[in-house]
């Protein structure tokens, strides 16, 4: 009984804390933004009208005591601070400047409870209480892809993260390792997250995504957002830590989704995620680069989006 009483007390404290939130307008909360659909207590999605899906699996800070912490071996549980706020900025700039909306899949649940960028066993550590939340997240991405392909020939998928590496630059992960980026001849195109794009657009060369003038990293770097890989910064140095893409990137750009391509975007903190002004600045550069990416590399022209 005592245990039940303590649980009740924790719930009351949590309710009191959440009730205080609206009275504190200085504190910025990503939950102030209204999305079109909440699938469960932790998963929020937005239907869009352009061929872009942004997934935000690690930005959540909800830490309910009702769900156990993951406890399987060799797991990572770090929160990608500010990535929900980043996608909120991207969405609002997209509406304001382009009058269209990306598709969004966002988790508010802390990574200590569930990791949405892993296969289900490691993601949940076999806790069946969170498998429904996991499935909601991934079934939504799957259904968004199917829905988009009714209207568009291809889909761009971006898995949005934040890294804690010292070098303040965006890391784009195409399932190409740092050593392969240093030696592009070693890249096997079929194992990259842009292989489907090469199949769909045979006129592109196999390094189109990495360091050409029309590569997404180059377009971002031109707008004062340092990015690797790009023409300006082709590869991490030997000792630089670098994320080359994870489970979601691999899954949704793989053979089961032959018309989807994309990358993992790992955002640095300073100048990108650290405050609202910088998030808006990044969002503008990001969207301008995305639109240039479509118009220069694909048959999908931004002027036709949303129509």
Binding site for Zn ion (CB under 5 A): 58, 80, 161
* Least distance CB 58 / Zn ion (angstroms): 4
Closest approach of Zn ion to the CB of residue 78, in Å: 7
Using the minimum distance from each CB to Zn ion, give the nearer residue, 78 or 96: 78
Give the whole-angstrom CA distance, residue 134 versus residue 114.
8
Among 256, 298, 264, residue whose Cα is nearest residue 145? 256
Q: Answer whether 108's CB lies under 8 Å from 84's CB.
A: yes
The encoded tokens of residue 305 equal: 């989006």
Give 58 or 110: the residue with its C-beta nearer to Zn ion: 58
Task: Give residue for tokens 């609206």.
Answer: 22
Nearest residue (CB) to Zn ion, 160 versus 187 = 160
Residue 218, H or E segment: helix 216-222
Residues in the chain: 307
Contacts 24+ apart (CB under 8 A), 167-170: 167/240, 167/268, 168/226, 168/268, 168/269, 168/270, 168/271, 168/272, 169/226, 169/227, 169/228, 169/233, 169/268, 170/217, 170/220, 170/225, 170/226, 170/227, 170/228, 170/265, 170/266, 170/267, 170/268, 170/272
Least distance between Zn ion and beta carbon 16 (Å): 31
∠ CA 20-21-24 to the nearest 5 degrees?
A: 95
* Shortest Å distance, C-beta 161 to Zn ion: 3
Q: Please state, in angstroms and as integers, the Cα–Cα distance from residue 208 to each residue in 83, 173, 195, 254, 302, following that order.
A: 27, 14, 11, 18, 20
Task: For the CB of residue 90, give the shortest distance to Zn ion in the complex, in Å.
Answer: 16
The residue (of 117 and 230) whose beta carbon lies closer to Zn ion is 117
Question: Quick one: 246 or 271, whose CB is closer to Zn ion?
Answer: 246
Which residues in 163-252 belong to E strands, given as ranges?
170-173, 227-228
Minimum Å gap between C-beta 165 and Zn ion is 12
Choice between 35 and 243, CB closer to Zn ion = 243
CB of 74 to Zn ion, least distance (A): 16
Min. distance of Cβ 80 from Zn ion in angstroms?
4
Per the structure block, which two tokens stand in for 135?
Answer: 């499935």
Of the candidates 166, 54, 38, 154, the residue with the CA atom closest to the CA atom of residue 100:
54
Between residues 118 and 161, which has the closer beta carbon with respect to Zn ion?
Answer: 161
Task: Choose between 81 and 295: whose C-beta lies nearer to Zn ion.
Answer: 81
Residue closer to Zn ion, measured from CB, 80 or 244: 80
| CA distances in angstroms from 27 to 31, 211, 276, listed in the order given | 11, 40, 12
CB of 76 to Zn ion, least distance (A): 8
């Amino acid at each position: 009984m005592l245990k039940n009483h303590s649980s009740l007390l924790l719930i009351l404290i949590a309710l009191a804390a959440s009730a205080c939130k609206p009275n504190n307008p200085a504190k910025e909360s990503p939950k102030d933004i209204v999305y079109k659909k909440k699938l469960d207590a932790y998963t929020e999605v937005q239907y869009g009208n352009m061929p872009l899906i942004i997934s935000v699996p690690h930005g959540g800070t909800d830490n309910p005591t009702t769900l156990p912490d993951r406890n399987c071996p060799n797991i990572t549980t770090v929160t990608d601070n500010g990535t929900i706020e980043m996608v909120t900025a991207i969405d609002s700039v997209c509406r304001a400047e382009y009058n269209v909306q990306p598709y969004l899949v966002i988790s508010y649940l802390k990574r200590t409870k569930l990791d949405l960028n892993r296969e289900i066993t490691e993601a949940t550590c076999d806790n069946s209480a969170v498998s429904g939340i996991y499935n909601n997240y991934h079934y939504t991405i799957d259904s968004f892809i199917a829905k988009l392909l009714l209207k568009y020939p291809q889909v761009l998928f971006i898995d949005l993260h934040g890294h804690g590496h010292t070098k303040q630059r965006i890391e784009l992960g195409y399932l190409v390792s740092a050593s392969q980026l240093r030696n592009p001849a070693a890249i096997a195109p079929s194992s990259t997250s842009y292989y489907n794009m090469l199949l769909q657009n045979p006129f592109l060369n196999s390094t189109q995504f990495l360091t050409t003038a029309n590569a997404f990293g180059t377009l971002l770097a031109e707008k004062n957002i340092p990015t690797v890989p790009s023409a300006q910064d082709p590869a991490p140095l030997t000792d630089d830590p670098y994320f080359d893409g994870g489970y979601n990137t691999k899954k949704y750009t793989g053979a089961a989704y032959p018309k989807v391509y994309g990358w993992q975007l790992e955002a640095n903190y300073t100048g990108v995620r650290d405050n609202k002004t910088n998030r808006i600045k990044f969002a503008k550069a990001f969207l301008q680069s995305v639109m240039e990416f479509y118009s220069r590399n694909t048959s999908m022209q931004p002027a036709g989006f949303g129509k």
